[in-house]
Structure 1
Amino acid sequence: MSTDDLMTKALAGLDEIDGPMSVEVIDRLADTAGVGGPMRIAEVADLLDISAHTLRYYERAGLVEVDRDSSGRRSYGQASVRRLVFLTRMRLSGMAIRDLQHYVTLVDAGDATVAERLDMLVEHRDTIRRQIRELTLSLAATEYKIATYGGTTGGQ
Structure 2
Amino acid sequence: MTSSLTIAQAAAATGLSVHTLRYYERIGLLDPVERRDNRHRRYTQEDLNWIAFLKKLKATGLPVRAMLRYAELRRDGNTVESVMERKAMLQAHTLSVQQTLAELQENLAVLHHKLALYDTLEQQARMAPAIPAGLPRPASTKERIAP
Would you say same fold, with TM above 0.5?
yes
Shift of 1:37: 1.9
Unaligned runs of 5+ in 2: 121-147
2:15 to 49, 61, 85: 49
- Residue 100, structure 1, aligned to residue 67, structure 2: yes
Q: Give the aligned length.
A: 116
Aligned partner of 1:31 in structure 2 is none
Deviation at 1:98, TM superposition (A): 0.7
Q: CA deviation at 1:106?
A: 0.8
**What SS class does the counterpart of residue 147 from structure 1 fall into?**
helix
Distance change in 2, residues 1:149/1:118 (3 Å): same
Look up the match of 2:134: none
The match for 2:35 among 62, 65, 68 is 68
Gaps of at least 5 residues in structure 1 are: 1-35, 152-156
* Residue of 112, 122, 133 corresponding to 1:143: 112
Is 1:78–2:45 an aligned residue pair? yes
Does the 8 Å contact 2:14/2:48 carry over to 1? no
The answer to which of 104-113 and 114-123 deviates more is 104-113
Larger deviation: 43-52 or 94-103? Answer: 43-52
Distance 1:150 1:44, change over 3 A: farther
Q: Report the CA distance between 1:141 and its aligned residue.
A: 1.7
Larger radius of gyration: 2
Q: Secondary structure at the match of 1:76?
A: coil
Runs of 4+ in 1 over 6 A off after TM superposition: none
* Equivalent in the alignment of 1:39: 5
CA-CA distance at 1:89 after TM superposition: 0.5
**Conserved 8 A contact 2:8-2:18:** yes
- Percent identity, aligned pairs only, is 34
- Answering whether residue 95 of structure 2 is matched by residue 126 of structure 1, we say yes
Secondary structure, in 3 states, of the residue corresponding to 2:119? coil
Task: Please give the secondary structure, in 2, of the residue aligned with 1:69.
Answer: coil
Call closer, same or farther: CA 1:48–1:146 in 2, change over 3 Å: farther
Code of the residue aligned with 2:95 in structure 1: it is D
